[in-house]
Structure 1
Amino acid sequence: MNTAQYWIDKLNLESHIEGGSFKEIYRSELVLSQLALTAHHHGDRSAMTSIYFLLQHGDFSAFHKIASDEIWHFYDGSPLCVYEITTDGTLEKHLLGKDIENGQQPVVIIKAGSWFGSRCEEPGGFTLCGCTVAPGFDFADFELADKEALQKEFPQHEDIIRQMTRRTNAE
């Protein structure tokens, strides 16, 4: 089994603003006009984008949301817990991994507009996965959660929000 550092080095991964390491590996040349997209998309978008994403135990991808659906694909390492707060306030815990008999799935889909974050909960572990976004990802459609605002909106999920956010309005 390869290590996290092996993948970081071999795939030339860089630090990601939400946590973990990533590298964009594909951006479609097909561009969709703003007129064909939702009001949550702020401009024209590539039809699809894809990245490698790696998280190590002890780090997390902070709660954030985007304007497009995101498909997560498991590649190597330990299972990844992807926490999703859907637009109706339901908290879902998805297990991205290859052990289907124990509730893991090799592909997890997060719908546009959901708040989501992830972490590798296996001590000493890491997860290498891929994330595909369609219409394509753009930081103009990205919102990193504010801890206090998200806890106020979803007080029933206060604990997981506290654990998986990094900023407040004061910061």
Structure 2
Amino acid sequence: MDRFEYWVNHLKLVQHPGDEEGFFREEFRDTFIVKNNLGECRNSATVAYFAQKTSPPFSPSSFLFRCKGAELLYYHFGAPLTIKIFMNGVRQDPVNFTLGPQIDEGQTLFTAVPKDTWFTRIVESEDENNFTVYSCSLIPGFELADFEARKYGDLMQEN
């Protein structure tokens, strides 16, 4: 069993069913219910584990994601994970954060993506076998109705 399979098996991850790369599993869904700005009921928080292998270079075919709530990302193991956050819209350069263990080189163990902000997560590596294990918390908790995934090139044509 290689290291990637070790993490997938021991965390009981499954192939991501959507447009995101890699494997995931929701680990926690709070039973405390809150209402969002539209008065819709949501779990107050969720946490999911992810394992993602080396990504293709960022391009117009890369998927960006946007949530109606804040997404908190935590590094756990493996290669650094680049988070590209388009704070001022997709026509502006993204702010890049690198989740990883090399704090002395500017990496961080945690970053937050503000609500309603497009972003993507990329494992940048020359080695296609590299991977990252990370988790994310959504506040309020994940609901498909509060989530969007679109190709970067499509967003650029629209905006």
- 1:58 lines up with 2:55 in the alignment: yes
Task: Compute the RMSD of aligned alpha carbons.
Answer: 2.1
Single out whichever of 82-91 and 20-29 deviates more from structure 2.
82-91
What is the aligned length?
148
Closer/same/farther in 2, CA of residues 120 and 148 from structure 1, 3 Å limit: closer
CA distance in 2, matches of 1:31, 1:79: 34
Q: Which of 128, 132, 139 is the matching residue for 1:127?
A: 132
Q: Which of 106, 110, 117 is the matching residue for 1:107?
A: 110
Give the structure-2-normalised TM-score. 0.84
Partner of 1:68: 69
Judging by fraction of residues, say which structure has more helix. Answer: 1
Partner of 1:6: 6
CA distance in 2, matches of 1:59, 1:38: 36
Closer/same/farther in 2, CA of residues 58 and 81 from structure 1, 3 Å limit: same
Give the structure-1-normalised TM-score. 0.79
Gaps of 5+ in 1: 155-171
Over 3 Å off, 4+ runs: 58-61, 87-90, 146-149
Gaps of 5+ in 2: none
Deviation at 1:62?
2.5
Q: Give yes or no for contact 2:63–2:152 (8 Å, CA) kept in 1.
A: no
Q: Give yes or no for contact 1:64–1:144 (8 Å, CA) kept in 2.
A: yes
Q: Which of 27, 31, 40 is the matching residue for 1:25?
A: 27
Closer/same/farther in 2, CA of residues 48 and 59 from structure 1, 3 Å limit: farther
Closer/same/farther in 2, CA of residues 153 and 93 from structure 1, 3 Å limit: farther
Deviation at 1:69?
0.4
How many percent of aligned residue pairs carry the same amino acid? 26
Closer/same/farther in 2, CA of residues 146 and 62 from structure 1, 3 Å limit: closer
Q: Give yes or no for contact 1:24–1:50 (8 Å, CA) kept in 2.
A: yes
Q: Give yes or no for contact 2:63–2:151 (8 Å, CA) kept in 1.
A: no
Residue 145 of structure 1 aligns to a residue whose secondary structure is strand
Q: Which has the bigger relative contact order, CA under 8 A and spacing at least 6?
A: 2
- 1:80 lines up with 2:77 in the alignment: no
